[in-house]
Amino acid sequence: MAAGGVGGVAGNPADVMLVRMTSDITRHPKERYNYPNVFSGLVSLVKTEGFRGLTRGLGTNTFRAVLMNGSQVGS
């Protein structure tokens, strides 16, 4: 479960980019992020929102990873 928590923390910026890039099509055209790829998206995120943008949803994501890892290993 601890490994899942560490993985959740390490992978959180990628999850933020995944959600933003996959939901971009549902946003109004003027509000879209329009990231061409994940790397430019991460750079843009840090420039506009700072380090705090990378940690958005960190608690929920880590909790999910802990529960998921514990249930998978336990079963």
Share of the chain above pLDDT 90, in %: 97
Give 53's pLDDT tier (boundaries 50, 70, 90). very high
Question: pLDDT tens-digit profile of 36-45?
Answer: 999 999 999 9
Predicted TM-score (pTM) of the model is 0.85
The pLDDT value recorded for residue 35 is: 95
Residues ≥6 apart with Cβ < 8 Å to 38: 14, 17, 21
